[in-house]
C-alpha cells in the first residue's frame, strides 16, 4: 500500500503527557516530508490551537473541529459553521438544564469561562489523574456548584454566536450526552474527553475532512495513514487505509485500528512508522505487509535473531517447513471431514496429490537449489491460502491477529522459546492451551462476521 498522506490527532497522540512533541516524532515527520509524504493534523481542536504545531513541524494542512474547519498553509479548504437556529436551541437547552457550554470560532473558544479553563494545558494535564468513575462528580461540581459563582449569561451566549461557530463544547458525561443527543437529531455528538462532548454538523467527521483534503491534494482515502487515541478518532481510524491506535488509546480505538503502537510518551508514532517500513530502520528491514512484520516479530523473539538478507532454504530446513505446512493441510482436511472414514479417504487423496505433483514438477525442470523457485512456490501457497478465505467468505485480518497473539504466548517461564530436537518446531508451555489457545477467539470472530453479514442482508431487505 502506497502512503501519500499521514494525519495525526493532537491530544494523546502527537503530544506526550507533558503536552510536548517528542523528538522522535519530530524526526519522523521530517523524514516523511523528505520522502514527499504529506503530513497533517486531524483534531477536535480549533485552528487557533493548531497553528503553533503547523509552524513548528512545517505541516501541510489541518482538519480541525472534527472536520468542520480545514485549512492548509495557503488557504481555507473548507469551513462549515453550525446553523444559527441549532445554536440558539443549544443555548436555551444549556440554560434550562444549567449546563456549561462553549463555542468554537476560527480564533478561539467563547462562552464558558470554566470550560476555557478546562481546555488549558494545566487542566488537561491534571485531568489524567481523575478516575473515570469520578467524572460524573466533577461535571456535577462544575455544572451545579461552580457555575453558580460564575453563571453563564444567556444574552452573552446569544451575542457570541453572531460570528461563525464551527463546534460546540458541552460539559456532560457520556451518559448525559446520550440524553442531550436525543433532543438534537440534526447535530452530531462525539467526544475526546470524559468530561465534555463535541457537537458538530451531521455528516461531518475527521474522516470526511480528510476526504476533502484528499480531493484538494490528489490522494485517495486508502492512501492515508492516521494516528489516534480517543473515541472521536474511531470513524477516522475505521475508514483510512492504514490506521494506528496509540498504546494509551481507548479500547474502542484499539478495536477498530489495524495496528496498536506504544503510547504517546514512548515513541509510539516513530515505532509505528518504522514497523510499517515508512521510516527506514537501522537494525532490520520492515515490510509494508503488516502481517509479515508480526511474524517477523515472532521469530525475532523466538529465534533471538532475524534474517535480513535474502537467502535460500537448505534442503533440511525446507523439509521441516514443508512438514509444518503438511500438518496444517491435514488439519484442514480433518475439519472438512464428517467422519473418520471420509477423513482417511481425504488423507489418501492428499498422498495421491503429492505423488501427482511430484511427477508434474519433475517434468517441468531439473532439480536444483533456486531462490527464485522457492519464493515462487511460497508466494503461490500464500495466494492459494488467501483464495481459500475468499471462497469461504471469511476476512482473515482479525483472525491473523488472534493466531499471532497465541503464538506469542509460546515463551516458556525462562523467557525463551523451546524447540523440538527432531522437527525444530516451537514447543508450547504447559499452560498454553488454557491461556493462549486461539480456537475460542477464532470462534467468536467468525460469529461476529456471520452476524455482520446477516445484519447487512436485513438492511438490504428493508
Tens digits of pLDDT across the chain (462 residues):
689 999 999 999 999 988 899 999 999 999 999 889 999 999 999 999 999 999 999 999 999 999 999 999 999 999 999 999 999 999 999 989 888 899 999 999 888 765 554 444 434 444 444 444 444 444 454 545 555 545 667 788 899 899 999 999 999 888 889 989 999 999 999 987 777 899 999 999 999 999 999 999 999 999 999 999 998 999 999 999 999 999 999 999 999 999 999 999 999 999 999 888 788 654 556 677 888 888 888 888 888 778 878 999 999 999 989 999 999 999 999 999 999 999 999 999 999 999 999 999 999 889 999 999 999 999 999 999 999 999 999 999 999 999 998 988 888 887 788 888 877 778 889 889 888 899 999 999 999 999 999 998 988 876
pLDDT at 281: 54
pLDDT at 220: 95
Distance CA 300, CA 381 (A): 23
C-alpha cell at 301: 523473539
Distance CA 98, CA 53 (A): 35
User: Is the whole-model pTM more than 0.85?
Assistant: no
pLDDT at 125: 40
pLDDT at 19: 87
Paired sense of beta strands 61-64 and 69-72, if any: antiparallel
pLDDT at 152: 64
C-alpha cell at 21: 512533541
Distance CA 13, CA 260 (A): 12
Distance CA 81, CA 199 (A): 11
Distance CA 79, CA 63 (A): 10
Q: Which helix (H) or strand (E) holds 347?
A: helix 340-364
Cβ neighbors of 314 (< 8 A, separation 6 or more) are none
> Helices 268-275 and 23-34 meet at what angle, rounded to 10?
40
pLDDT at 136: 46
3-state percent helix, strand, coil for the chain, nearest multiple of 5? 55, 15, 35
Distance CA 179, CA 174 (A): 9
Q: Which helix (H) or strand (E) holds 72?
A: strand 69-72
C-alpha cell at 396: 482473515
Contact 154, 100 (CB under 8 A): no
Task: Output the CA–CA distances (angstroms, integers) from residue 186 to 73, 183, 202, 331, in the order listed.
Answer: 32, 9, 6, 53
Distance CA 50, CA 62 (A): 8
pLDDT at 150: 57
Contact 231, 13 (CB under 8 A): no
pLDDT at 148: 54
Q: How many CB atoms lie within 10 A of CB 239?
A: 19
**C-alpha angle 188/194/196, rounded to 5°?**
50
Contact 239, 207 (CB under 8 A): yes
pLDDT at 123: 43
Cβ neighbors of 241 (< 8 A, separation 6 or more) are 1, 3, 220, 221, 222, 223, 224, 225
Distance CA 240, CA 258 (A): 10
Strand partners, 15: 21
Question: If you count them, how many residues does the chain have?
Answer: 462
> Which structural domains are found in the chain, ordered by start?
5-79+204-276 (3.40.50.1000), 84-201 (3.30.1240.10), 315-461 (1.10.3420.10)
Q: Which helix (H) or strand (E) holds 323?
A: helix 315-335
Mark out the alpha helices in 241-314 (DSSP H runs): 251-256, 268-275, 290-302
Phi, psi of 289 (to 5 degrees): -90, 105
Amino acid at each position: 500500500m502506497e502512503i501519500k498522506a499521514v494525519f495525526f490527532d493532537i491530544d494523546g497522540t502527537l503530544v506526550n503527557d507533558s503536552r510536548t512533541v517528542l523528538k522522535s516524532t519530530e524526526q519522523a515527520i521530517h523524514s516523511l516530508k523528505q520522502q514527499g509524504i504529506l503530513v497533517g493534523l486531524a483534531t477536535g481542536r480549533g485552528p487557533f490551537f493548531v497553528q503553533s504545531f503547523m509552524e513548528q513541524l512545517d505541516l501541510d494542512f489541518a482538519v480541525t473541529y472534527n472536520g468542520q474547519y480545514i485549512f492548509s498553509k495557503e488557504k481555507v479548504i473548507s469551513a462549515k459553521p453550525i446553523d444559527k437556529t441549532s445554536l440558539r436551541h443549544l443555548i436555551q437547552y444549556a440554560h434550562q438544564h444549567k449546563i456549561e457550554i462553549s463555542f468554537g470560532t476560527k480564533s478561539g473558544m467563547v462562552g464558558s469561562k470554566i470550560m476555557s479553563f478546562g481546555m488549558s494545558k494545566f487542566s488537561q494535564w491534571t485531568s489524567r489523574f481523575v478516575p473515570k468513575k469520578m467524572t460524573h462528580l466533577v461535571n456535577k461540581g462544575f455544572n451545579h456548584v461552580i457555575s453558580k459563582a460564575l453563571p453563564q449569561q444567556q444574552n452573552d451566549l446569544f451575542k457570541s454566536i453572531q460570528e461563525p461557530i464551527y463546534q460546540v463544547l458541552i460539559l456532560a458525561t457520556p451518559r448525559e450526552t446520550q440524553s442531550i443527543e436525543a433532543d438534537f437529531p440534526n447535530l452530531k455528538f462525539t467526544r475526546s474527553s470524559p468530561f465534555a462532548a463535541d457537537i458538530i454538523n451531521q455528516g461531518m467527521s475527521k474522516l470526511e475532512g480528510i476526504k476533502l483534503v484528499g480531493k484538494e491534494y490528489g490522494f485517495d482515502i486508502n492512501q492515508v495513514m492516521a494516528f489516534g487515541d480517543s473515541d472521536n478518532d474511531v470513524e477516522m481510524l475505521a475508514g483510512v487505509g492504514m490506521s494506528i491506535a496509540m498504546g494509551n488509546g481507548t479500547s474502542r480505538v484499539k478495536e477498530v485500528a489495524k495496528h496498536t503502537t506504544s503510547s504517546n510518551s514512548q515513541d509510539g508514532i516513530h515505532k509505528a512508522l518504522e514497523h510499517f517500513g515508512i521510516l527506514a530502520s537501522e537494525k532490520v528491514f520492515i515490510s509494508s505487509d503488516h502481517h509479515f512484520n508480526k511474524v517477523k516479530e515472532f521469530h525475532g523473539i523466538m529465534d533471538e535473531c532475524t534474517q535480513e538478507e535474502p537467502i535460500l532454504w537448505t534442503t533440511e530446513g525446507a523439509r521441516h517447513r514443508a512438514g509444518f505446512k503438511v500438518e496444517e493441510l491435514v488439519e484442514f482436511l480433518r475439519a472438512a471431514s464428517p467422519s473418520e472414514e471420509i477423513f482417511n479417504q481425504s488423507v489418501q487423496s492428499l498422498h495421491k496429490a503429492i505423488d501427482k505433483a511430484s511427477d508434474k514438477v519433475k517434468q517441468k525442470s531439473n532439480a536444483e537449489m533456486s531462490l527464485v523457485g522457492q519464493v515462487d512456490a511460497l508466494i503461490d501457497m500464500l495466494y492459494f491460502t488467501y483464495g481459500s478465505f475468499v471462497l469461504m467468505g471469511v476476512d482473515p485480518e482479525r483472525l491473523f491477529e488472534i493466531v499471532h497473539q497465541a503464538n506469542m504466548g509460546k515463551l516458556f517461564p525462562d523467557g525463551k522459546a523451546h524447540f523440538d530436537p527432531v522437527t525444530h518446531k516451537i514447543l508450547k508451555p504447559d499452560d498454553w492451551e488454557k491461556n493462549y489457545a486461539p480456537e475460542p477467539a477464532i470462534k467468536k470472530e467468525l460469529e461476529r462476521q456471520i452476524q455482520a453479514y446477516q445484519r447487512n442482508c436485513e438492511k438490504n431487505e428493508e
